[in-house]
Amino acid sequence: MSGVAQPVLHPVRVSVAPARRLPQLVGGLILYGVSMAMMTRAGLGLDPWNVLHEGLMKHTGLSFGTVTALASMAALLLWIPLRQRPGVGTVANIVIIAAVVDLVRLVLPAQHTFGWQLTLLLGGVALNAFATATYVGARLGPGPRDGLMTGLSRRTGRSIRLIRTCIEVAVVAVGWLLGGTLGGGTVLYALSIGPLTQAFLRRVTWRERPVSRPAGESAPCAA
């Protein structure tokens, strides 16, 4: 064995630069807007927030995407007393999803044949889960509704599951009273979105890269 002392290596974590994660964020938000449009055109029931959006659309005459953006900004205003801080992903969430959902709805007509309705619904739910995991996995800032949920959980000390349930029950009730579409799709979304998103998150989440450096050496700058 060599008598030369070997350096002691310690693992450190180096964050991946935001610029490398930006394409994933944008792609995830685009797919999310597409999935929303698919579910609205299926006509078999929407997820809680889109029940609210559809109800507001019917009463305001605004486009679905415009209503979605306004509701997002309203949720963002509620961050102020919760001391939540938005990221680039928060702003992109509002702009990209609103634009994409309106564009896709322009070219995708409402379906009235059950086979096509079911295809759009199932495809929309699966795509929504993948899109959610993709943009959340980029780790560039939560969406307005996600930040509201986590902020309330931190402020009240209640579990995220309880806070999310309370918020979604409230928005779906208001949306239904305004004329939003409830149906089998609403139940399917509620039961499947969590497990599907979790399964996709394992594959698309950016994580800090482990590297090794000699003991006593300062940590390298983030890549």
CA nearest 205: which of 24, 7, 47, 32?
A: 24
Q: What number is the average pLDDT over the span 27-40?
A: 97
Q: Is 11 helix (H, G, I), strand (E, B) or coil?
A: strand
Place of tokens 């800032």: 141
Task: Please report which confidence band the pLDDT of residue 201 belongs to, taking 50, 70 and 90 as the band edges.
Answer: confident
Q: Is the pLDDT of residue 17 over 80?
A: no
181 contact partners, CB below 8 Å, separation of at least 6 = 43, 44, 45, 46, 51, 54
Model confidence pLDDT, tens digit, residues 80-93: 999 888 999 999 99
pLDDT for 220: 45
Q: What number is the average pLDDT over the span 44-67?
A: 96
Q: Report the C-alpha dihedral over residues 168, 174, 179, 180, rounded to 10 degrees.
A: -10
pLDDT for 209: 58
Specify the pairing of strand 209-214 against strand 9-14.
Answer: antiparallel
Q: Which two tokens stand for residue 150?
A: 């986590």
Domain ranges of the chain: 19-205
**What does the DSSP assignment read for 87-143?**
-HHHHHHHHHHHHHHHHHHHHSPPP-SHHHHHHHHHHHHHHHHHHHHHHHHT-S---
pLDDT for 18: 75
pLDDT for 1: 46
Model confidence pLDDT, tens digit, residues 128-144: 999 999 998 998 988 99
Q: Are 182 and 113 in contact (CB under 8 A)?
A: no
- DSSP letter at 78 equals T
Q: What number is the average pLDDT over the span 183-195?
A: 93
Higher pLDDT, 8 or 136: 136
Q: What is the pTM of this model?
A: 0.84
pLDDT for 223: 37
pLDDT for 16: 64
Task: Please report which confidence band the pLDDT of residue 6 belongs to, taking 50, 70 and 90 as the band edges.
Answer: very low
Higher pLDDT, 189 or 202: 189
Place of tokens 């208001």: 174
Q: Is the pLDDT of residue 56 over 80?
A: yes
Tell me the C-alpha distance between 98 and 178, whole Å. Answer: 20
